[in-house]
Each structure stands twice: as structure tokens, then as C-alpha cells.
A and B are shown apart, each in its own frame.
Chain A
Amino acid sequence: DIQMTQSPSSLSASVGDRVTITCRASQSISLYLNWYQQKPGKAPKLLISAASSLQSGVPSRFSGGGSGTEFTLTISSLQPEDFATYYCQQSYSNVLFTFGPGTKVDIK
């Protein structure tokens, strides 16, 4: 199985800050990496697919990068509505699709 890890597990930031979350895979997954945002009591929302492809309607302050085993999600200027938990997910395996443990972004 491909294991996914994320760092940090949580972070505190202020509105306007630049925030970067890292996701690592236990083996190379090329660009088969998705990012989701989840707010309390809600379902996750797909933000980015294929490592860097922004979904329709997602603000341009979100960006994704990386390839192989290391990936990043960057929020260029944190907004109040961005406080949430973020998950990465690999879509490389044709057997098992796995998620990272999540990174909680809260208000400093």
C-alpha cells in the first residue's frame, strides 16, 4: 500500500499569511495527487487534482506543486474562509486510494 504523510499536522496562521502544507508518498506517485479541504461538519471538497490542476471555482490563491514523492499545497494569502483541515490523496494505485492524515489550519 502507498502511505501518505502530511506536515505539519496542524498550524496556526493569521489572515493574509502565506501557508504551505507538505504531503509525502511512500513511493513515487508521479502527479497522481489530489488535495481536499474540509470544514467542520461538512464533506471534503476537491481543490486540486493531478498535483496542480485547480478545480473550477477554487480561488487562485490556492496552488499545488510537486511530483514523485513530495507535494505542496500553498495558500498565498490566507482568508477567513480558508480555516479548515486539508487532506492529500493519492490516485496512483489501481488497487487502493489512500489519504493523508490531514493538516488543520486554524487562527493564530
Chain B
Amino acid sequence: QVQLQESGPGLVKPSETLSLTCTVSGYSITTGYYWGWIRQYPGKGLDWIGSLSHSGSTHYNPSLKSRVSVVLDTSKNQILLNLNSVTAADTAVYFCVAGVAVADFEHWGQGILVTVSS
């Protein structure tokens, strides 16, 4: 059973970089699946951030593409998210997700609230 757990700072200053880690248990990230991130704004809307395959091919939300990177740390079985130049509009709950297909989000972490504020 795939289990995902997000971790990282809950508060980030404007213009800085938001960095989150998703630790995967019960499955090796090099075996299969697409791995990615989705965020949910305080008003409840869901926003896909980006995904990458176990082989490393990436897919990013075009509106975030210039600011975002998602990478695999195979040595630690983790998925890393970096979002730079953040503003208050990036305040959200960030979820780590996984699925057999790039756009089918079968597994979710519990989510982590990240607030962008000085």
C-alpha cells in the first residue's frame, strides 16, 4: 500500500523558495507510478502543480512552469517540490499525489499547510 507523507516549513517569506518533501513508504518510487503535487487554496479550489514519471519525464502546470520543479530523490524514496519567488497567492495546503496515469491521482498524502507571509 502506497503511503505519502509531506513535510517542510509551514511559513515561507514572500519572494523566497517553498521547498517540500514527500516521503513514500510501501513502494519504491523507481518501480512505477507518476508522482506529483496538487495544492488546495483556502477557498477550497484544487490546483495541479506538476507530476513526473518514475523514469523522470516531467509535466508542469503552464502557469507555474517558470517557478516550479519536481524531482525524485531515489536514495531516500522521496519526491521534492521547489516553488520559487512565492507570493501570498501561493498560500495553500500542498498535497503529494501518485497514480498509475499522469492525471489519475489515486494516492494522496495528508497535506501540509504552507503560508506565505512576512
Contacts across chains A and B counted by CB atoms under 8 Å:
49
Residues of B within 8 A of A54 (CB): none
Q: B105 contacts A95, CB within 8 Å? A: no
Known: A43-B95, A85-B44, A87-B46. A97 touches B103 (CB 8 A): yes
Count of chain B residues with a beta carbon within 8 Å of a chain A beta carbon: 20
State A95–B51 Cα separation when bound (angstroms).
11
Which one of A18-26, A44-52, A63-71, A72-80 contacts B? A44-52
Q: Given A91-B101, A96-B61, are A55 and B106 neighbors across the interface (CB < 8 Å)?
A: yes
> Are A46 and B62 CB-contacts (below 8 A) given A85-B44, A96-B48, A97-B48?
no
CB distance from A95 to the nearest CB of B (A): 6
Sample 13 A-B pairs with CB under 8 A, ordered by A number.
A32-B103, A34-B105, A43-B111, A46-B99, A46-B105, A46-B106, A55-B106, A89-B46, A91-B103, A94-B59, A97-B48, A99-B45, A102-B44
Nearest 4 Cβ contacts at the A-B interface: A91-B103, A43-B108, A99-B46, A97-B103
Known: A34-B103, A44-B105. 15 other contacts (CB 8 A): A34-B104, A43-B108, A43-B109, A43-B110, A43-B111, A44-B95, A55-B106, A85-B44, A89-B46, A91-B103, A94-B59, A95-B62, A99-B46, A99-B48, A101-B44
